[in-house]
Amino acid sequence: MTDTEILIEADGISKYYSDFTAVEEVSFQIRRGEVVAFLGPNGAGKSTTMKILTGYLAPTRGHARIAGFDMATQRLEGAKHLGYLPENGPLYADMTPRGLLTFFAEAREVPPSQRKRRMEQVIELCDLGSVLEKPIGKLSRGYRQRVGMAQVLLHEPEVLILDEPTTGLDPNQIHEVRKTIRRLSENRTILLSTHILQEVEAMASRILFISEGRLVYDGSVEQLLENGETLDSQFRRLTTVS
């Protein structure tokens, strides 16, 4: 019987490319309402794991589930519960935020009776009111990230997977994206990949560390930082290859 409180599950997932191992035997569960940070150095397997969890890649072995749905065989059902913001997610530069949100509301089959309400909600949540009619290609990177966030929220997913949502942003833009994620965390399950360790302490209660394709830590922030350790020193300890 499926535990309805487990909304993200990696069950022994592995991904091989010929002789190269991208991830191997990665397993974890994330329950309803948790905000979990997914950390590791470049090339450790974070993005591959996230793509498997979202159904963009099929695992060589193992299973990825969103809200109980296997993302290799039940992707459409799982996607109804999922909002995925990939690193540098694609946007249509010639469209306006309003036009893009209208397009995605239709593509995601948001009922016509709910589209206006949902668009107004995500526009307010992501603070897009001042740029709704401007071409996306003319917006700052911070605003483009907010547009991307708004479109993944249109169908009211209970699970969010965010891959490096603050990459390339200046400190002011990072602050704004952080505020948005905090608001979202009040009633959603979030898996967040980031290189900005301060973001982890500010938003997450639990950390997953991956190194060379294998999960090397799964536990609370408090446990990791006991005995006066810093997140930076623990990152190096857990991910430095001997």
For residues 84-94, give the mean pLDDT: 85
pLDDT digits (tens, 9 = 90+) for 121-150: 999 988 899 999 999 999 988 889 889 989
For residues 97-114, give the mean pLDDT: 93
**What per-residue confidence (pLDDT) applies to 191?**
96
Instruction: Give the whole-number percent of the chain exceeding pLDDT 90.
Output: 62
**What per-residue confidence (pLDDT) applies to 56?**
92
For residues 210-238, give the mean pLDDT: 89
Q: What is the pTM of this model?
A: 0.89
Instruction: State how far the alpha carbon of 49 is from the alpha carbons of 15, 23, 75, 192, 229, in Å.
Output: 8, 7, 15, 12, 27
pLDDT digits (tens, 9 = 90+) for 30-51: 998 899 999 999 889 999 999 9
Instruction: Give, in degrees to the nearest 5, the angle at Cα 133 between 132 and 138.
Output: 95
Instruction: State how far the alpha carbon of 171 is from the alpha carbons of 130, 165, 167, 198, in Å.
Output: 20, 13, 11, 12
